A and B are shown apart, each in its own frame.
Chain A
Amino acid sequence: MKKAIYTLLFPLAAYLILLLHADYLHAVAECDMFISGQAFFEETLRTQGGLWTWLGCYLTQFFTYPWLGAMIIVAIWTATYFLLVDAFRLKGWQCLLAWIPVFALLVSVVDIGYWMYYIKMPGYWFSQSVSFFAAVLTTWIVVRLIRLVWNKDVAWIVFIIAYFAMLQQFPVFYHRNYENHLLQIPFIVAPVSVVLLSLVRLIKWQPHMKWATEIVTFIALIAFSATAYLLSFRNTNFQAEIRMQKAIEACEWDDVIEEAKAAKNPTSLMVLFKNIALMHTDRLTEMFKTNNCGCLPDTGDSLTVRMAQIAGPLIYYHFGQLNYAYRWAMENNVQYCLQARNLKMMARCAIMNHEFDVAAKYLTILSKSTFNKSWVKEHEPMLRFADKLRESKEYSYIAPLLNEDVNMLDYDNSLPEQWILSHYADLVNTKNRKQDNVALCASLWLKDEYAFCIQFYNYNKNYPGEAVPELYQQAALLMGTSENSPINLDNFPFDQLILTRFDNFNSDYGSMSNMGIQHKEIGTRMREVYGDTYWWYYYFGDFKAY
């Protein structure tokens, strides 16, 4: 019974650690792709270690349901452990060492973080474990056979030779597309630990007291589990971004906004996601009432993250820029792994662009994966029935942004947020209220005074007699009344409350400035009172493009 408990302790801990990263694991399934059929199999087999890649892709799909994917991978690790114990005839405390490669493989799955968008190895999350298991299994069979017919004492030597011979088939162990050497450590630890296991049998020491073995084992397993957890990538913004992407896919806008509100120091991507949610719920004028300052993501290492690669297609898509969304989905698929999320994006853009033949192609491919069939079933009728497209939830949000008449040739310099904001800030001939609001807010976001004035003028012309939202009044007070303003707001009926608050803002700012307080510190002090105003964003807010 006790033995069973000790044996199950680490797999259970590994399972729990994986479930703590459930959002990440679900995203992993979207960042990979498996296509059933001969063509994908043959193409994958063309690459070195292709069989393990193919198996890895197949199994990675199961992270769509994190509990299921985690269960499968933990089962593989546990089986690996038992094979190692049996192959080396480990006993007592020695069994503990057979968990070392499993520990390394667990770390290799949960330490990736932002690298998950940049991995160039399809099926990475399972291919390592599957290939390691295959190496151990094959050599275990060899050893078993040798033990049956040959000198038992040389079996472990044969094991090591066979093991390394097998490893030659698995380039994944020594060929990773990473610049980060820390991430490579698990793949050194795993094979090296197996060599150590072969040496352990030379140590004849066994503790006299059984309870000492048990305590050592227990503490070591707890230490393994705690270390694996500590080495996992637990950046809260990273996890929030993943949840926000999932919520955007489901058009759950309130969830997106709540995630943004909960973040103390959100990334620019989170801010962008929040504003997409506000835009689609006609609350874009509240964008500065919530935190609109975005920072760069903390990747934990040397990786430089680009918004275009993490979520460029999704951002462009929700701003109605289908060509650019399609383009980045394609580029990312080519540059990194073939990803289900990119194929879905390309299918959606093609449907909205009425490019039905290529949309059908992508839907057919997606239908050949295990867990995307329902997504395909939902979108396939849109190819044949225009009504189905128009009735879709997404279409209702995006359609108002699609009806730009003029085609432009342009280039985004791999900075989607900058391009989108500039594009909308400079947009002339807006077609509807949604476009008007996006154009105005984009100019405010960029702090582009000239663009704001032009858009503000158009807004008032388009909606005469309507109450002007508080945000636009705040911005007009700041930008529209300056000497260089291209518009005259002398007779503009500002709300008295806004005028008073603006006076107070200027007065408070002036007082603190006169007291010699640094600009940044003034911003911090004024945030509590004026953090919901455009003025505060204008003077103190920052939005890091990446």
Chain B
Amino acid sequence: MMQHTKSVLIVVVLTIVLIACGRPTVPDSYQTESRPPKVMPDYTDVTVPANICPLNFRVYEPGKQVAVRISVGDLQYTYGDGMKVLIDENEWSTLLEKAKGGNMKVEVFVNEGNQWKAYQPFSIHVAKEDIDPYISYRLIQPSYVAYGQLAIAQRNLTTYDETDIYNNALVITPETGQCINCHSYQNYRTDHMMFHMREGLPGTMIVEGNQLKKVDLKTPEIISAGVYPAWHPTQNLIAFSTNLIGQSFHTKDIAKVEVQDKESDLILYDVTKDEVFTVSNDSNELETFPTWSADGNTLYYCSAHFEYENDSLKDAEIINDYRNLHYNIYARDFNQQTHEFGERRLIYDAASENKSATLPRVSPDGKYMVFSLGNFGCFHVWHAEADIWLLNLETLEAQNLEALNSERSDSYPSFSSNGRWIMTASRRDDNNYTRPYIAYFDAQGTCHKAFELPQRDPEFYTLFLRSFNRPEFMTEPVGITPEQFAAEAKKDARKVKYKTAPND
């Protein structure tokens, strides 16, 4: 009798605790639905790393209350807060640890009033390989010409913590705004990193160890200051494109804007000596998006062939011909001792297929390249047809990474430092706001279904009015504080020297 009373007491206490915690109970009776539930973000059958934060989601099915059971073997937890599934971080870690190399089973039950409905369970696969603990991105409204408050932020992938690397609110004044862009790291580390500032307090911010400097990369010999960067993986060198960029607007096409380079070249900046030299400036070529091979012996880049008929009508010509701008991917050998570049080699001929290849990135093992492939042009974040493609650098065979892609724009791909994860900036959610999606890329070269960067509130992406621009993997957080960057930003930029290329 005493034992029975004790059991009842325990059940009562546990029930009270569970109610207090808001943990729902899975119903005993329910109707079954032969399809998986619609959940946002879509985490059905995705593959995640074992060090990712909880994949909170919201169920978009008719009903007001959800009960979700997540289980790995005999370990199971239930969640449900209205239609949201908010997973406890400690319990999630336990689930991940147990599911590493295997699967979690997710069962969703929805209360439609007096009736519960059970949807077909789905799996979350957990890979053996971890992901880099940090990513960074620029938070920017998907506007066209205007910009306001901008931040380059870093996100801890193992938690939901996000902090600013730099925020232009620290320096902007009523009179002067400041655009910040193109953050870039040397080999995933943050002790050698950079980003640009434009308009207000302009210059390129360079981090070398714990030293900061702001440089002005524009010299009379080049068409613009450095734009799209690529740190050499081992040397204190950054390859930049220099671009004269213009924007024009579609009257009907829902892409709305076309961003074009009227001119573009390539330069190399020696961070230690503060010198730049021209790598490529063919007047009939629009060279851009440099990126290095993992060993630093090859510089890859994109280039479109375009011949102007009349120099005074360049704007009109390139706008009228916007559908005929097709970028190929080229490579040039790089001598790390002499800094000489070899002749260019065609790596991927997109133009012959009436396509345009942009934003190439090479895997850390040097075997693969990922890039964005669209129908034309160089700014694929606005091109719904743009997809991520994989190029085998040994066979030069390319394939569409269908598991990673969507019907909408997928661009700006990058590999994690261990090469097992590919991240892309995707507009699949609503065709306007760019979100980071991450896919597992296994040792056999197969890409698995991508998952959206998890947020604490599953409705976050619906309510958030900024894009995640240029998502980049990092192995560590940035050590410089936003205030230190702001203090350096207020100083005058150091002019770099132009020198003749070693080849010339």
Contacts and interface: CB of A to CB of B under 8 A. Distances in A.
16 contacts: A177-B174, A326-B256, A330-B143, A333-B143, A334-B143, A335-B148, A355-B431, A355-B432, A357-B431, A364-B459, A364-B462, A407-B250, A407-B251, A409-B319, A409-B322, A411-B249
A321 interface: yes
Interface in B413-434: 429-433
B221 interface: no
A37 B465 CA distance: 14
Interface in B450-487: 457, 459-460, 462-465
B435 to A, nearest CB: 12
Given A407-B253, A409-B319, A409-B322, 20 more contacts: A47-B169, A321-B251, A323-B253, A323-B256, A327-B256, A330-B143, A331-B143, A331-B145, A333-B141, A333-B143, A334-B143, A335-B146, A335-B148, A355-B431, A364-B459, A365-B462, A409-B249, A409-B251, A410-B249, A411-B248
Contact of A361 (B248, B252, B430): B430
Contacts of B457: 38-39
Contacts of A335: 143, 146-148
In the A-B complex, list the 4 residue pairs whose CB atoms are closest, starting with the nearest. A407-B252, A358-B430, A357-B430, A331-B146
B197 interface: no
Nearest to A178: B174
Interface string B433-451: 1000000000000000000
A152 to B, nearest CB: 43
B434 to A, nearest CB: 12
A330 B174 contact: no
Interface in A304-349: 321, 323-324, 326-327, 330-336, 338
A406 interface: yes
Contacts, number: 109
Nearest to A407: B252
B141 A39 contact: no
A412 interface: yes
B254 interface: yes
Contacts of A373: none
Given A47-B169, A333-B141, A357 B429 contact: yes
A283 B322 CA distance: 39
Interface in A103-156: 120
Nearest to A354: B254
A539 interface: no
**Interface residue tally on B, bucketed by range:** 35 or more
A47 B149 CA distance: 10
A174 to B, nearest CB: 12
B169 A334 contact: no
A132 to B, nearest CB: 21
B257 interface: yes
Nearest to A403: B252
A375 interface: no
A43 to B, nearest CB: 8
B132 interface: no
B78 to A, nearest CB: 24
Contact of A327 (B144, B319, B322, B465): B144
A346 B146 CA distance: 16
B323 to A, nearest CB: 10
Given A404-B251, A406-B252, A409-B249, A334 B463 contact: no
Majority secondary structure, B binding face: loop
Nearest to B260: A409
Given A335-B148, A358-B431, A361-B462, A330 B252 contact: no
A35 B146 contact: no
A334 B248 contact: no
Contacts of A355: 254, 430-432
Contacts of B248: 409-411
A391 interface: no
Central interface residue in B248, B257, B430, B431, by most chain A CB within 10 Å: B430
B58 to A, nearest CB: 12
A408 B143 contact: no
Interface string B218-250: 000000000000000000000000000001111
Given A39-B463, A407-B251, A409-B249, A179 B174 contact: yes
B463 A365 contact: yes
Central interface residue in B247, B459, B463, by most chain A CB within 10 Å: B463
B142 interface: yes
Contacts of A330: 141-144, 146
B258 interface: yes
Nearest to B151: A46
Given A177-B174, A368-B463, A409-B258, A327 B249 contact: yes
A327 B257 contact: yes
A40 interface: yes
